Amino acid sequence: MLARLAAALGARPERVTLVVDQFDAITAVRETAEELHFVLRNAAPNLRVVLTSRYDPLLPLHRYRTAGVVTEIRNADLVFDEEAAAVLLARHDLDLGPEDVRALVRRTEGWAAGLRLCALAMQRTGDPAAFTRQFTADRTCIADYLLTEVLNAQPQAIQDLLLRVSVLPRVSPALADALTHRDDAEWILAALERVNAFVESVGASGWYRLHPLFAEVLRAHLRHRMPRVEAELHRLAARWLADEGHTSEAAEQAAQAGDGTGTAGVVAVPSVPSVPPAVVEPLSDREREVLRQAAQLQSNADIAAELHISVNTVKSHLKSVHRKLCVNRRRDAVRPARQLMLV
């Protein structure tokens, strides 16, 4: 059948456009992708396929890119700027000033569906301008959309992770593991970004962030589902961030936990840039972790087990610490490290 379809399309003199909407909703994904690729390969140049999907289809996109036969429109291309947002709002009979449009674009980060949902909500209010300054995502139809289309579409374990990391402006896989008491955050966060589930990487740092509106909705849902958990999540995050040397972020989390004592303790931890010039160069977060363990007279094997790294990695970090502190032995590194408040 596919061969006949490809031949029939190739025999038509005019250009044929085949639109496949919501390709991600297809259940037999691999089989359908293979069949579509067969048609594309055999249907002659007059066939154009327009395919929409929330994530990359299982097609050989690298071959299409190399051959120059594919045009990709991705998230960044679909973000609305202030001019496009003003046009959208005008089509909903909403006349907002430039400042209000700017505020709305800033809150939604140009998310097209979010802007339309806001426009529909504003049509039901008596003061659309006030809506842009006062609306909270968890009390609008945006919450219904994000909870139904994004959160509830995930397995329970992933829902739990999203709810817990929503208290943070950014999260690393290791920090997410600390909040969930599991060890699967790395692949979960990467998978969520891959399917465009309102999770995106922060540069090449290995950290991730949630879309602000999604995070706002999740925090409200967390308070409803687990009302006493939020403060403890902030405390866990503060401790983890402090141990990793992220002092300012740790202080913010301790403050949000309502823990004045914890905040003071976190702020007292020196940041890397404050290291005196006696150090050749600042120690990395991991080197400081290894040094803290070494200061407790633990063996290389014990340090490796505690930090979940290999013994050779421990030795490599200690060698780097010795070089930076201008010492030759581990015991000689502990005293200057304490004087410099590195441990």
What's the average pLDDT block by block, 10 residues per block, for the chain (343 residues)?
70 81 83 84 79 87 89 89 93 90 90 89 83 74 87 91 95 93 91 90 87 92 87 92 87 82 48 41 80 76 84 86 76 69 63
Tokens of 154: 């995930």
Q: What pLDDT score was predicted for residue 278? A: 45
Architecture per CATH, 153-267: Orthogonal Bundle (1.10)
| Among 191, 183, 179, 181, residue whose Cα is nearest residue 155 | 191
d(CA 240, CA 176): 10
53 to each of 16, 40, 50, 306, how far by Cα in Å?
A: 20, 17, 10, 43
Is the distance from CB of 111 to CB of 213 less than 8 angstroms?
Answer: yes
CA distances from 247 to 67, 237, 285, 308 (A): 49, 11, 11, 23
Residue 297 confidence (pLDDT): 64
pLDDT at 276 (0 to 100): 39
Domain 274-339 has CATH 3.40.50.300: no
pTM above 0.75, yes or no: no
Cα 313 from Cα 311, distance rounded (Å): 5
> Which among 210, 215, 216, 229 is positioned nearest to 171, based on CA atoms?
210
Q: Which amino acid does the sequence have at 78?
A: L
According to the model, what pLDDT value does residue 139 have? 67
- Give pLDDT, residue 217: 92
Residue 294, pLDDT score: 79
15 with 48: CB under 8 angstroms?
yes
**Domain boundaries, given as residue ranges, for the chain:** 2-72, 78-135, 153-267, 274-339
Fold identical between 153-267 and 274-339? yes
